[in-house]
Amino acid sequence: MEMSHLLYILLVGAVSGWLAGKIRQGYGFGLFGNMAVGILGAFVGEWLFRQLGISIGGGTFNRIVTSVVGALVMLFLIGLIKSRR
């Protein structure tokens, strides 16, 4: 993976985490926590869409949508884990 691609994923993931935190209010972890979840969600979203055979095309907007879905999945799973404590 090229460094520019990795930086692009990190930036898109940070924006996506922020958006996911806004969508799932009350389930977020603050600005920086949601950004970290979004960065992980960017990888999760790309993996999940690839596994499901879903392709929404290229471009920054579509990558943000994919990353937001991944971040929402991450926030959901983290919420499940936290609720069981």
pLDDT digits (tens, 9 = 90+) for 16-62: 888 888 888 766 677 778 778 888 888 888 899 999 998 888 888 88
> Does residue 11 lie within any of the structural domains?
no
pLDDT at 73 over 70: yes
Contacts of 25-33 spanning 24+ positions with Cβ under 8 A: 27/75, 27/76, 27/79, 28/75, 29/78
- Rounded Cα distance between 34 and 21, Å, is 6
Total of domains in the chain = 1
Residue 52 structural domain: 32-85
Give me 23's structure tokens. 């969508």
> Does residue 21 lie within any of the structural domains?
no
pTM for this prediction: 0.79
What does the pLDDT read at residue 27?
63
